[in-house]
């Protein structure tokens, strides 16, 4: 199998390159993201391998089909970048990595929570300048506080386990509650009203887009801490920025952002103009943003590479495609 690998970074080469040789596959690593303008690069390959910021709309899928692509490999859990209806129409299976290292993602969420609560980012900025004044760096003790978890899949469950270790009380919301978890499931409105910390772990779908909007934020406690390591578009960025500036939140920690498409995974420090909403969020010392790096552990990268290449192997062998997005 020849795989056209898009949006390549050094960590992808290091994880996928050696493992592909073990499978006997040939990977062409392209720096470019997969877009309507770059789809032609896939000519002469059997599969594409794309990530969260690649674009796989109808026109790209049809061009890939014409170029001889037989399967679309996603090295991520999310599949909102792909027009699934057109992929099905073209007979191109879409194979994803549903769970690579949920612990890694949850640990990043916990890191953001701890950092924004205890103001580690502000402390770091001060101490690098030999300023050891701690006034203004007061946080809250998490023990005994209530954490509201939205989405109790694999990552949500890992986050729950971490927060239980802090001695937090857990309440949860999920469109499909899992009775085997022994959790106190509540409505979203109740979760907003009771939670001192809210951490969201939902997939991005039409039903969940902007589920955290102006109305949802208004129902939250004043001084709540909000964490998002899931998908940026789950949150209405304008409403979030308005609420941050109005003093609604004690802190906001995000590994994702609605406006990340042209920014994340790249160095944009030389740009003279930036997205206004993202700039508003980054200007607040109550907001801490990491660049979609929750997956970036050795264990997660190895798991992503293995599952992606196993998906390709199953396709070639005509075996059941257990990770196909229907």
Active-site residue, 292 included? yes
Residue 260 annotated to the active site: yes
Element containing residue 213 per DSSP (H, E):
none
Number of H helices, E strands in the chain: 11, 11
Report the first-to-last Cα separation within the chain, whole angstroms.
23
Catalytic residue among 260, 261, 268, 274: 260
Cβ atoms of 16 and 37 within 8 Å: the answer is no
Measured CA distances, 75 to 109, 204, 217, 224 (Å): 21, 16, 32, 34
Q: Is 66 exposed, middle or buried (0-12, 13-18, 19+ CB in 10 A)?
A: exposed
Backbone angles phi, psi at 27, to 5 degrees: -110, 130
96, 201, 250, 292: which is the annotated catalytic residue?
292
Q: Which residues contact 261 (CB under 8 A, 6 or more apart)?
A: 53
Strand partners, 51: none
Point out the catalytic residue in the list 33, 201, 231, 250. 231
d(CA 300, CA 202): 19
Active site residues: 231, 260, 292
């Amino acid at each position: 199998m020849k795989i056209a690998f898009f949006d390549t970074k050094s960590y992808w080469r290091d994880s996928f390159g050696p493992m592909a040789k073990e499978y006997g596959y040939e990977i062409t690593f392209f720096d470019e993201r997969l877009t309507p303008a770059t789809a032609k690069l896939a000519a002469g390959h059997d599969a594409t391998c794309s990530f969260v910021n690649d674009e796989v709309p109808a026109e790209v899928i049809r061009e890939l089909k014409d170029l001889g692509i037989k399967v679309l490999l996603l090295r991520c859990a999310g599949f909102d970048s792909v027009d699934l209806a057109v992929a099905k129409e073209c007979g191109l299976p879409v194979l994803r990595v549903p769970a690579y290292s949920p612990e890694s993602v949850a640990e990043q969420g916990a890191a953001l929570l701890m950092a924004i609560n205890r103001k580690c980012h502000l402390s770091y900025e001060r101490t690098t300048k030999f300023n050891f004044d701690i006034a203004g760096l007061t946080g809250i003790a998490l023990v005994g506080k209530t954490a509201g978890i939205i989405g109790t899949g694999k990552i949500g469950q890992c986050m729950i386990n971490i927060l239980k270790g802090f001695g937090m009380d857990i309440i949860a919301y999920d469109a499909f509650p899992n009775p085997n978890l022994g959790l106190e499931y509540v409505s979203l409105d109740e979760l907003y009203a009771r939670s001192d910390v809210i951490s969201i772990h939902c997939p991005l779908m039409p039903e969940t887009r902007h589920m955290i909007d102006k109305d949802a934020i208004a129902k939250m406690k004043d001084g709540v801490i909000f964490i998002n390591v899931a998908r940026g578009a789950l949150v209405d960025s304008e409403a979030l920025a308005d609420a941050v500036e109005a003093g609604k939140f004690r802190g906001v920690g995000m590994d994702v952002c609605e406006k990340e498409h042209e920014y994340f995974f790249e160095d944009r420090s030389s740009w003279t103009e930036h997205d206004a909403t993202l700039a508003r969020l980054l200007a607040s010392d109550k907001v801490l943003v990491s660049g979609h790096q929750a997956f970036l552990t050795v264990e997660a990268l190895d798991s992503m590479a293995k599952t992606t290449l196993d998906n390709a192997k199953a396709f070639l062998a005509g075996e059941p495609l257990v990770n196909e997005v229907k």
